[in-house]
Amino acid sequence: MEKITPHNIMLMMLSIGVLLGVARILGEIVQRFHQPAVVGELLAGVLLGPTVLGSIAPELCLFLFPQNGTNAIIFDAISTLAIVLFLMVAGIEVDLSTIWKHGKVGLKVGIISIVIPFIFGFMTAMAIPNMLGRELHVNQFTFALFLATAMSISALPVIAKTLMDMDLYRSELGMVVVSAAIFNDIVGWIVFAVVLSLMGDNPSNSGGNHIIFTIFLTLLFAGTMLTLGRWLIDKTLPFVQAYTRWPDGEISFALVLALLGAAFTEWIGIHAIFGAFLVGAAIGDSSHLREQTRVTISNFISFIFAPLFFASIGLRVNFFEHFDFLLVILVLIIACFCKLVGGVIGARWGGMALRDSWAVGFAMNSRGAMEIILGLLALEAGIINQRLFVALVIMAIITSIISGPAIRLILCPAKPWRLQDALFSKLFIRELRSLSRQDAIKEMVNVVCREFSMDQTEVECIVWEREKAMSTGIGKGVALPHARIRGLSSPLVVVGISETGIDFDSPDGKPANIIFLVLTPDSALESQLNIVSEIAKLFRNQAILQGTLKTKTFTDFLALIKSQAVSKQT
């Protein structure tokens, strides 16, 4: 085999760069529509792979992402590395102690929502294996076991993300769902490891003894990692923190362990991601792991490595060619039915209200990234064919997409608005003409009423009444006139900047250089408080005011607010 050539290097940089770029852009776009980023990332692969680019310009597609040769190997290796590291992050996010804290209910949901889909999936696969696309060379029992696992698994990252978006993550319902999902994931992956070992890539290895040995080693590794390994890591982390460069020592420590764990599980005959996941779970469970390390690792891996991997999935399969409508519908129905039933029964058993139980069911139903990884491994191991793989991917995406809206419909949680949601470029006045408090309010009300067709006199009157009652200058150059407006559907914040400053009767006597006019719906008291306190917190840092005065456009301003807001929180 020859050495890696300059052409290989060029192509490697180009294909990774293009794929990552497109994946991140589409990931951002779907997030605008409150969908998980993974949907956009998969789409990037579909666009650049055989499905779309391959049918428009097959040569370009093959040039960028060759199917054979050195670059195919490199690409394969890098996307394997990416998924191994992503599973480590997924493992870190698993908080084993949560399972015990919200123990009973979570465990009940966890057990039922894995047992019902498992039995149902297994029986369906035994009953109609050919309709579900079993290939003849695959043992029916192995196939059924795989399908059962595929129906039982959840997607912790997607579930956590959906719950966080709705501010339900720290609620009791959230914790029940999260602990149930953790339980599902761990059991699901162990079962899948067994399925993989049953397949035994290499014919010489597939003797009965070998399978038992693999299962034994798998369970031994999982058990050791979650007990002794977890304890050892917890004891070692303070040494790493105390005696190595911070935070790099801790990051390397986690990565090295994950890679070695991955090598070990790959060696015993199950996939590398399994070892990385277990090591991640053991590390994430340590109370000594610092938040900064967690954030750095997950920023880098979840947003660089993960998009690369998910986009690479779309490259592997032609989604049009292998799209089988009946199979997709069948898989979707089975998956949703058994997981919803499992989730609801589990939650009811745990004593939750019916409405909450349905929310739990829909939350558990999202399969997201985990299902796709499972499907890909099964495809590579020859357990399933491309048609079923496509159906599983589509099922994973659809269950993830409907989860959020369904929970929102069921629980109608009052989503508190954030400042970012209420800022619009049309409501940004770079230089206020007014010199007095009343004029400034008038000028700002004027802009918002023109843009959103509201009654100017009424709004102005309400804001001014509030302002007269007590001045809203909070000092440090900031004023926050605000009012609740009947009939408004979402909060609106007008931003006005005045270089010279306008007297808002602040406690510190300083004129206001930046004025936020905060208009919120009549009912949304919490949103108003949220937004007002967010602004007050943000401008405690004098540098932000200075930065604001230097901004030229709304984009500059938004960039400042967003990047400063988060860097202050973490």
Q: Where does 324-367 have alpha helices with state H?
A: 325-349, 354-365
| Shortest CB 369 distance to a second copy, Å | 16
Which residues, at least 6 apart from 272, have a Cβ–Cβ distance to it below 8 Å?
80, 84, 262, 263, 265, 266
Which residues, at least 6 apart from 15, have a Cβ–Cβ distance to it below 8 Å?
64, 65, 71, 75
Instruction: Identify which of residues 300 and 323 has a Cβ nearer to a second copy in the complex.
Output: 300
| Shortest CB 87 distance to a second copy, Å | 12
| Shortest CB 173 distance to a second copy, Å | 26
Instruction: Identify which of residues 306 and 459 has a Cβ nearer to a second copy in the complex.
Output: 306
34 is catalytic: no
- The catalytic residue among 102, 271, 322, 482 is 482
| Shortest CB 424 distance to a second copy, Å | 12
Q: Which helix (H) or strand (E) element contains residue 27? A: helix 6-32
Instruction: Identify which of residues 27 and 342 has a Cβ nearer to a second copy in the complex.
Output: 27
Contact yes or no for 362/340 (Cβ under 8 A): yes
Which residues, at least 6 apart from 118, have a Cβ–Cβ distance to it below 8 Å?
148, 149, 151, 152, 191
CA distances from 220 to 50, 121, 182, 262, 378 (A): 41, 27, 19, 15, 23
| Shortest CB 562 distance to a second copy, Å | 5
Q: For 368, how many CA atoms within 13 A lie in the half-sphere containing its CB?
A: 29
Instruction: Identify which of residues 92 and 240 has a Cβ nearer to a second copy in the complex.
Output: 240
| Shortest CB 243 distance to a second copy, Å | 7
Instruction: Identify which of residues 176 and 237 has a Cβ nearer to a second copy in the complex.
Output: 237
Cβ atoms < 10 Å from Cβ of 51: 22
Helix (H, G, I), strand (E, B) or coil at 427: strand
| Shortest CB 79 distance to a second copy, Å | 10
**Own/partner long-range contacts of 24-28 (Cβ < 8 Å, ≥24 apart):** 24/303, 24/307, 27/307
Instruction: Identify which of residues 55 and 425 has a Cβ nearer to a second copy in the complex.
Output: 425
Contact yes or no for 264/275 (Cβ under 8 A): yes
Instruction: Identify which of residues 398 and 514 has a Cβ nearer to a second copy in the complex.
Output: 514
For residues 455, 457, 459, 462, the Cα torsion angle rounded to the nearest 10 degrees is -150
* Cα–Cα distance, 126 to 143 (Å, whole number): 8
Q: Where are the beta strands (DSSP E) in 114-196?
A: none
Backbone angles phi, psi at 43, to 5 degrees: -60, -35
Q: Which helix (H) or strand (E) element contains residue 312? A: helix 306-316
| Residue numbers annotated as active site | 482
